[in-house]
Structure 1
Amino acid sequence: MATASLLCVPLVAKSVEEMKADMSAARSQGADLVEIRIDHLAAFDPRRDLVSLIRDRPIPVLITYRPKWEGGQYEGDDRKRFEALHLAMELGAEYVDIELKVAQEFLDFIPGKRPENTMLIVSSHNYQFTPSTEELGSLVARIQAVGADIVKIATTAVDICDVARMFQVLVHCQVPMIGLVMGERGVISRLLCPKFGGYLTFGTLGAGKESAPGQPTMTELLDVYRIKHIGPDTKVFGLIGKPLRQSKSPILHNAVFKALGLDAVYVPFLTDDLDKFLNTYSSPDFSGFSNTMPHKETAITCCHEVDPIAKSIRAVNTIIKKPADGKLVGYNTDYTGAISAIEDGIRGLEGKKYETVSPLDGRVFVVIGAGGAGKALAVGAKYKGAKVIVANRTYERAKELAELVGGQALTLAELENFQAGEGSVLANATPVGMYPNIHDTPLHSKKALSSYSVVFDAIYNPKVTKLMHEAGECGATLVSGVEMFLRQAMGQFELFTGSPAPADLMREIAMKIT
């Protein structure tokens, strides 16, 4: 099984000159080869353009001339495609791609012996779904039988669990294989390609230059996920949730793994069904998970064991797999991350040490939101001695959480007129105001906002939300969601690795990326 997959950059420019410029850029940025998608060229002349693209190439090339019926741009006669691909072979292209449907026809078209210096990739694309493991295995056998040097199968992820079937086939394939699952839910197939023995993965030069759905940029692959350092023994961690595009967790954790020289990677797991995901990715390869919206409450029932604090909060944001028996243990680091950040904010405001009691003791603590993060804040504040008030879009959920912590429930309309009083704390635990909806706020009344001494927002993108900006104008002490993000991540790192978190390093990285 391969331990170092190649990084291939697809080139989809409309002109030969643009393609040549992109080829040089790909080489300078660390690509191993480029895929020249000649079906994207606006005016393609095989004799002129292939000579120009292949003869002076600064990097190995894969020539693809994809027809419309297989997801490409070419609509003409197959014979013209075959002539161009055969010419690419004669010109010395390192790889040529042909679709399984016409592979035998193409091989019959080639006169005499096939050029030895070109490896033939025979490909199959499914833009609707990912077949069963048995069907994928059968497809591999068919592609091998036609005479492929490299098998390529690209399917589509309806669910992230579809990718596990591709991994299984990759690991057991006895010939070089490219196995990728397209779409946002299939991104891990591209990031973890080297772990499971994939021959290559695709990374673009930048956003908007994708040749297939779900392709990350080569910068992400090399700098964030460090695919050149991933091998069969690499431990996999990641963030379970939906959506995940706004999360900075992969950047933070991977940067820490790199700095400490750990053989580990942290990836996004875009997950619809948590229980199904955990049952599918149950192997020791997947060692631990951060867990975010909307799965924090569901995780309580999916774990074999739950830490007492997480159980009292009724939300899990960290899931660890026991190496000995594979059992899942749920924890909540949101609680310590958020509450400690707010406590330090109060200490900074008042200049007191509070050696025997928490700075929250006796204060009014208003939580907006009754989801996983809201529960962590409400239970944590109650534990520290605060008088908790919960406001939520759905009043019944606010009431349920308020009863759990012996507090009071408000509707969001009531919150707009609520006067909290001196020394009170407001904590937003909803996504209202998160990028890209940065002009939204969960509390519109400046009069109500001015009654709080400390305002915390769990959102860290943007760093200063509209809520925090307006609270600052009203004179409140602000506690950024960056602090919660950092501190809960430190707790997760310790659970992932069993080692103390490098606090200074993680703070330095967090401040750069948020």
Structure 2
Amino acid sequence: MGSLSVDTSNLQKGSGFGKSSSNATLVCTPVLGTTVNQMLVDMARAKEIGADLVEIRLDYLTNFNPRFHLQTLIKQCPLPTIVTYRPKWEGGRYEGDENRRQDALSLAMELGADYIDVELQVAHEFNSSIHGKKPDNFKVIVSSHNFHDTPSSEAIANLIARIQSTGADIAKIVTTASDITDCARIFQITVHSQIPTIGIALGERGLLSRLLSPKFGGYLTYGALDADTVSAPGQTTVKDLLELYNFRLIKPDTKVYGIIGKPVGHSKSPLLFNAAFKSVGLNAVYMHFLVDDVEKFFNTYSSPDFASGCSCTIPHKEAALKCMDEVDHIAKKIGAINNIVRRPDGKLIAFNTDYIGAITAIEDGLRALEGAKPAPGSPLSGKLFVVLGAGGAGKSLAYGASQKGARVVVANRTFERAKELANKVGGKSLPLCEVENFHPEEGMVLANTTSVGMKPNMDQTPIPKHALEHYCLVFDAIYTPKDTRLLREAKEAGAAIVYGKEMLIHQGFEQYKNFTGLPAPEELFRQLMEKHA
């Protein structure tokens, strides 16, 4: 598939739909209660947390009396309603008589529902049955669900044409994203469709399709009441949509930033950057990019306002280098990047801010150990600095420490990689398994850049507790969880500790400057990290 080059600067749809001057995309919350009373409670919650409308999923009700229950649900709902009675053959729960199901949907229309969601397979039949009976302002959503993949752009366009031919007021295309670039085909459809369109790619790789609906003219997106009540894979909560991603502020000309990684959902970077963007009124949004193939990602999303800037984390810090047009000289020496900026001409420029963030945090920790009168120069000068891991973060720490005058030792599971990195920085190398018995002197500094101990494997540690007695300071690049087993045991062994969040905060300051040209809101970053630790 070619790159995403949709011009969104003048995005227009009929009847005020998707106007470029404001975000017209609605937020819909599915209510999935098994009883009418639970649905009524959930409807009130949906309004309270900021949803625009609710989807009443009749197929979730265990006992359903169509006339009595629909009247109650529709009349007492504090928000506009979409009524959906999804059959099992389209991913829902209903297994009964088809005529009874369609009769219930017709009844919902008569009783005042604002929308009905009906499946493409039966849409001609259903729309024929209500011909001449549709109330003013009532709309039929005709939907198609693909739980296997995302078809080609041509196939999706043909699907939209079939939906439009049924007399649909709104088209709904749901596919499954096997790669983050699948979302580009959804965006192409929502921008170019002749009728209002809902486009969603399921799964974590499809998150962009939900969050960027306003940028590409989507009619609505879905947000769950909470993380335990999602109605489809990859669905986020209304709270996250509105508060974490500033969904109401996203417009066709909004610049898109994000963090590239695999895994990536644990990253707190969207929390920091979206709050920072909002605080200074920048028309930008920052999100998680679950990327399998970095080159494919940048080739697909190549417009200047998409992937305008990216943070880059495990495992792509080295692979992403090959996709860059220019690489900062320090990042080139390190051989890994974590910060990418796309210039207005589309060229990608890469930096490494990891080494600044981590080394600054470690120096602060060592100075605190020195007391009120720290020695001049870097407190790392002359220290024996042991780096665990020879990946992107390991390279950053090894390079940064050597620049500060430390004697660097690199330990890695694959010894050849440790040796290669150690040679680059004029240090020594060790197999990872030998670190616990390596203590030529006291007062060493340890920096873990491996993923050992990261959530969900929080019971693991890269080095036994008894070996930590020889270190004066231990740093762990992991920040989820904050208190890793390594740091807990280091503290018990008498070492000073530096949390991974300190590296995140310091390198985030540098990334923000590179993204925006503005000084970072340092106090805001710290407040947010403390609040959401």
TM-score class, shorter:
over 0.9
Contact persistence 1:319–1:330 (CA under 8 A):
yes
The residue correspondences of 1:214-225 to structure 2 (distance < 5 A) are 214-225=234-245
Displacement of 1:472 after TM fit? 1.1
Contact persistence 2:465–2:489 (CA under 8 A):
no
- Decide which of 465, 488, 500 is 2:484's aligned counterpart: 465
Aligned residue in 2 for 1:300: 321
Aligned residue in 2 for 1:489: 508
Task: Give the whole-Å Cα distance in 2 for the aligned partners of 1:229 and 1:49.
Answer: 37
Task: Give the whole-Å Cα distance in 2 for the aligned partners of 1:149 and 1:385.
Answer: 68
Contact persistence 2:367–2:374 (CA under 8 A):
yes
Percent identity, aligned pairs only, is 59
Q: SS of the residue aligned with 1:450?
A: helix
Aligned residue in 2 for 1:127: 147
The residue correspondences of 1:236-385 to structure 2 (distance < 5 A) are 236-286=256-306, 287-323=308-344, 325-351=345-371, 352-355=373-376, 357-385=377-405
Task: Give the whole-Å Cα distance in 1 for the aligned partners of 2:24 and 2:397.
Answer: 44
Displacement of 1:137 after TM fit? 1.5
Task: Give the whole-Å Cα distance in 2 for the aligned partners of 1:486 and 1:401.
Answer: 26
Amino acid at match of 1:304: D
Aligned residue in 2 for 1:502: 521
Task: Give the whole-Å Cα distance in 2 for the aligned partners of 1:304 and 1:511.
Answer: 37
Displacement of 1:111 after TM fit? 6.0
Displacement of 1:82 after TM fit? 1.0
Displacement of 1:423 after TM fit? 3.1
Contact persistence 1:92–1:117 (CA under 8 A):
no
Aligned residue in 1 for 2:223: 203
Contact persistence 2:117–2:141 (CA under 8 A):
yes
Contact persistence 1:367–1:391 (CA under 8 A):
yes
Task: Give the whole-Å Cα distance in 1 for the aligned partners of 2:122 and 2:375.
Answer: 76
Aligned residue in 2 for 1:42: 62
Q: SS of the residue aligned with 2:310?
A: strand
Task: Give the whole-Å Cα distance in 1 for the aligned partners of 2:442 and 2:463.
Answer: 18
Q: Deviations over 1:208-265 (max 9, x none)?
A: 2111111001100011011111111111100100001211111111111122221111
Aligned residue in 1 for 2:5: none
Displacement of 1:412 after TM fit? 2.1
Contact persistence 2:40–2:76 (CA under 8 A):
no
- Decide which of 120, 133, 142 is 1:113's aligned counterpart: 133
Q: Deviations over 1:396-424 (max 9, x none)?
A: 22122112212111122210111152332
Q: Deviations over 1:472-498 (max 9, x none)?
A: 112111111111010111111011101
Q: SS of the residue aligned with 2:79?
A: coil
Q: SS of the residue aligned with 1:161?
A: helix
Displacement of 1:353 after TM fit? 4.1
| Alignment gaps of 5+ in structure 1 | none
Aligned pair 1:407/2:427, yes or no? yes
In the superposition, relative to structure 1, how do residues 52 and 420 fare at CA in structure 2: closer, same or farther (>3 Å)? farther
Task: Give the whole-Å Cα distance in 2 for the aligned partners of 1:95 and 1:111.
Answer: 15
Amino acid at match of 1:404: K
Task: Give the whole-Å Cα distance in 1 for the aligned partners of 2:269 and 2:374.
Answer: 32
Aligned residue in 2 for 1:168: 188
Task: Give the whole-Å Cα distance in 1 for the aligned partners of 2:464 and 2:136.
Answer: 70
Q: Deviations over 1:175-201 (max 9, x none)?
A: 211011111100111111111111100
TM-score by length of 1: 0.97
Q: Deviations over 1:93-116 (max 9, x none)?
A: 000011111100112223643233
Aligned pair 1:24/2:44, yes or no? yes
Aligned length: 511
Task: Give the whole-Å Cα distance in 2 for the aligned partners of 1:338 and 1:156.
Answer: 38
Amino acid at match of 1:494: K
